[in-house]
Amino acid sequence: MISRRDFLQVSMAASALVGASGFGNWARLAAQQSLTQGQLLEFETFGNVSLIHITDIHAQLKPIYFREPSVNIGVGANKGVVPHVTGADFRRLYGIADGSPSHYALTSDDFAALAKAYGRVGGLDRVATVINAIRADRPDAILLDGGDTWHGSYTCLKTQGQDMVNVMNALRPDAMTFHWEFTLGSDRVAELVEQLPFAALGQNIFDAEWDEPAELFPPYQMFERGGTKIAVIGQAFPYMPIANPGWMFPEYAFGIRDEHMAQMVEEVRAAGAECVVVLSHNGFDVDKKMASVVPGIDVILSGHTHDALPEPVLVGETIIVASGSNGKFVSRVDLDIRDGRMMGYRTKLIPIFSDVIAPDPEVAALIDEQRAPYLDEMSEVIGQTDSLLYRRGNFNGTWDDLICDALLSEREAEIALSPGVRWGPSLIPGQDITREDIFGVTSMTYGQAYRTEMTGEFLKVVLEDVADNIFNPDPYYQQGGDMVRTGGLGYRIDVSKPQGERISNMTLLKTGEPIDASRNYVVAGWASVNEGTEGPQIWDVVESHIRKLGTVTVQENTNVDVVGV
Amino acid sequence: MEISRRETLALGLGAAVLTMLPFRVNAAVEDSISAFTGGADIADGGVTLTAPEIAENGNTVPIEVSAPGAVAIAVFAAGNPTPGVVTFNFGPLAASQSASTRIRLAGTQDVIAVAKMADGSFAKASATVKVTIGGCGG
């Protein structure tokens, strides 16, 4: 019998065998500028079970640019630990050479220059090639989709997710869980889920009326692979009706429900599962806390917060694997399951360099088929950009600055608010901006750009409320997005303070005057979770603004003063 | 009207009293709990209170309480104008000492469950439930 001490030694030795999860290999090759598909896929098959994890694709069927964040602040116990490490600190932590492909894939500095050298990332036809290669090593590998799949592009919005269902089905996943999918509305979600030839999981998806597990979404699925039984438990995004419009899916309730998760773990263990995998859309810090609270989980495949980590994070005996977003990465997780437990693991975060990995011809054709009816309208060039346009970061991105400028000028507002979502591909300087690019950072089923009046006091409440959703020291009270983006409004934020005390020095940028708590301000924004929001669609507002500008230049944003880090 | 310095000070005092209000709210919940326990000591543990970390709708928050061996469980919402929410009484034939219901919360606050045990002792559990305007997601 193997003791807990032995287990840790075995698993640690296993990861050390391939030079820190196989990650060091391509980091070193990278320095020689000789990256090949074979090297990206190189993996010494380990144990008896393979998992393949992809998450938060946000409907990016084609290769894109995607800049990782330069600012990702952790608070409480997560201060200064991954994934809250960026840039040069991140490279030092993982031994990544400056200028290497892994520098480009995993960090943000010199992004525009490296993007020109290394090209686009992602593309589900390339992802298909990687999945096929893993299946060639291990035919019964389990492919798991962490959700945020049926949202985020022109074609996905127009087909209400059908394009993604068609292409993902061709990749033959074994299970998935959910978040933005629900913004298609509960009827459409049910219609699509019923067509899926694989399990739609969510132990925390409940019937809102009866507070019982929802029938359409089983909590888990058992798999018999590699001579053992593996249970995959789904965990959908816990805060959907709060972060997204609950009125679009009133039949469902969510929440973290870790007691129910613990019950499910016991149930699958009793049913003979030797390995328990949670396919999660909790976000990384929430997953870490859940791993420390719920006993008996071997692997958490973590999604939602879009973090890409070259090595799993170990919490007790649970490994947490974070596989990035937008089709940029696929994780391979090989497990040695014996004698009723996980004896070791070997993992690799595979970056999908689209110029290095050959597209799978069948899936490439299928993708083009989904896009063909919309190709003319979405390929139309609206303008050009002189600046790097990106979104990720806790406080602002240049895409959001552009969107806020569009709201201020097109909607004649004093202040603009743009949601702190983490999806949306980047554009590099010199690129055309097409209609598809605009939809890549704006498309959603509740994109109306409202124009309203808010008092200075209410604006502060909004900022404080959103800040607490990101910087509450207890991860269970976080929703996993970034700070609401502001246009025309500057402020100071002390991330170390409690709710109600973080925001100060609110300034109306147009006049330089402090925000007056009792005065009304004209505010334009989009993505309101309230039913009946009126206004033009945000993509039309942004398109009209970019057309007028012709060429977009976005200055560095210095309007948010961050302290207490 | 001309406001003298003395009057200004008095106004300032009024403001200070206003900011004391949260303490009065706490006192209100303490009074309610004392009314239930008769002022007896309350131990931590022995009660399970299940509540969402963030309420999906502050007007109807599902909660569940359970305390094996309890004869009654009272639930208090510390931040509501009237903190006392509900008291469940369990007779000797009750198969289990647990109950679930939905409560309305005026804002982010602690929910407290206090159980009266068969031997007359008291135990409690509490949970912070956040009520937020929300609006952004990954």
Identify whether residues A203 and A291 lie together within a single domain: yes
Cβ contacts of A180 on chain B, cutoff 8 Å: 137
- Sequence-distant (≥ 6) Cβ neighbours of residue B78 within 8 angstroms: B25, B26, B29, B109, B110, B111, B112
A133 and A183 together in one domain:
yes
Residues of A in contact with B108 (CB under 8 A): 499
Q: Give the pLDDT confidence score for residue B134 in this predicted structure.
A: 62
DSSP class of A152: S
Q: Which chain A residues are Cβ-neighbours of B135 within 8 angstroms?
A: 243, 419, 466, 484, 527-529
**Closest residue in chain A to residue B58, using alpha carbons only:** A242
Contacts of A533 (CB under 8 A, 6+ apart): A446, A448, A450
> What is the Cα gyration radius of chain A?
23
8 Å CB contact of B134 and A419: no
Whether B57 sits inside 8 A of A423 (CB atoms) is no
Instruction: Return the residue of B nearest to A500 by Cα.
Output: B108
Q: Report the candidate in A460, A363, A429, A313 with the shortest Cα–Cα distance to residue A168.
A: A363
Instruction: Using an 8 Å CB-CB cutoff, list chain B residues near A450.
Output: none
Nearest residue of chain A to residue B62 (CA atoms): A211
CB pair distance less than 8 Å for B135 and A527: yes
**What is the structure's pLDDT at A21?**
47
Q: By C-alpha distance, which of A113, A101, A85, A91 is closest to A40?
A: A101
Q: Do B134 and A469 touch (CB under 8 A)?
A: yes
- The whole-number pLDDT of residue B133 equals 72
For chain B, list residues with pLDDT below 50.
1-24, 137-138
Contacts 24+ apart (CB under 8 A), A499-507: A499/A464, A499/A465, A499/A467, A499/A468, A499/A472, A499/B108, A500/A464, A502/A463, A502/A464, A502/A467, A502/A468, A502/A471, A503/A460, A503/A463, A503/A464, A503/A467, A505/A561, A506/A456, A506/A459, A506/A460, A506/A463, A507/A559
B138/A476 touch (CB, cutoff 8 Å), yes or no: no
Inter-chain CB proximity B57 and A243 less than 8 Å: no
Range of the structural domain that residue A250 is part of:
4-62+122-368
The shortest C-alpha distance from B50 to chain A (Å) reads 9
Give the residue from A516, A259, A45, A273 showing the smallest Cα distance to B52.
A259
Helix (H, G, I), strand (E, B) or coil at A517: coil
Does any domain span residue A339? yes
**A555: which 2 tokens?**
């200055």
Taking CA atoms, what residue in A is nearest to B102? Answer: A211
Spacing of C-alpha A470 from chain mean position:
15
* B50–A477 C-beta distance less than 8 A: no
A311, A343, A368 - which closes a domain: A368
Nearest beta carbon to residue A255 from set B52, B136, B138: B52
ipTM of the complex: 0.82
CATH number at residue A281: 3.60.21.10
Q: How far is A478 from chain B (nearest CA, A)?
A: 9
| Chain A: closest CA distance from residue B62 (Å) | 8
- CB B63, CB B51: distance < 8 Å: yes
Q: Which of B50, B108, B136 sits opposite A420 (nearest CB)?
A: B136
Same domain, A360 and A395: no
Residue from the list B108, B128, B137 with its beta carbon closest to the beta carbon of A421: B137
Residue with tokens 């290497």: A100
In angstroms, what is the C-alpha Rg of chain B? 19
The residue type of A308 is A
- Ranges under pLDDT 50 in chain A: 1-32
Q: What was the pLDDT predicted at B27?
A: 82
DSSP single-letter state for residue B4: -
CB contact at 8 A, A155 and A355: no
Whether the bond into A83 is cis, omega within 30 of 0: yes
Strand arrangement of the beta sheet that strand A341-351 belongs to: A199-200, A175-176, A142-145, A49-54, A329-338, A341-351
Q: Is the dihedral of CA A35, A38, A43, A49 positive or negative?
A: positive
Q: Is residue A99 part of a domain?
A: no
Query: Which of A368, A388, A420 corresponds to the end of one domain?
Result: A368
Which residues of B are less than 8 Å from A237 in CB distance? 137-138
Q: Which of A371, A360, A465 is nearest to A417 (CA)?
A: A465
Whose tokens are 């070791």? That residue is: A344
Domain count, chain A: 2
Give the nearest partner residue to A480 out of B62, B132, B138, using CB atoms: B138
In a domain, A111, yes or no: no
Query: Are B53 and A241 within 8 A, CB to CB?
Result: no
Expressed as residue numbers, the domain containing B48 is 5-129
| Domain identity same for A216 and A276 | yes
The verdict on a CB contact (< 8 Å) between A481 and B50 is no
- Any idea what the CATH number is for the domain that residue B18 is in? 2.60.40.2470
| CA A100 to chain CA centroid, nearest Å | 23
**B87 φ, ψ to 5°?**
-125, 125
> How many structural domains is chain B composed of?
1
User: Is residue A325 domain-shared with residue A395, that is, in the same domain?
Assistant: no
Which of A339, A368, A397 terminates a domain? The answer is A368
d(C-alpha A422, C-alpha A304), whole Å: 9
Write phi, then psi, for A475 (nearest 5 degrees).
-55, -25
d(CA A331, nearest CA chain B) in Å: 20
Domain contains A95: no
Inside any domain, residue B74: yes
Judge whether B99 lies within some domain.
Answer: yes
Query: Do A354 and A384 lie in a common domain?
Result: no
What separation in angstroms does the CA of A299 have from each of A230, A232, A359, A546? 11, 9, 30, 45
The number of residues in chain B equals 138
The count of other CB atoms within 10 Å of the CB of residue A103 is 24
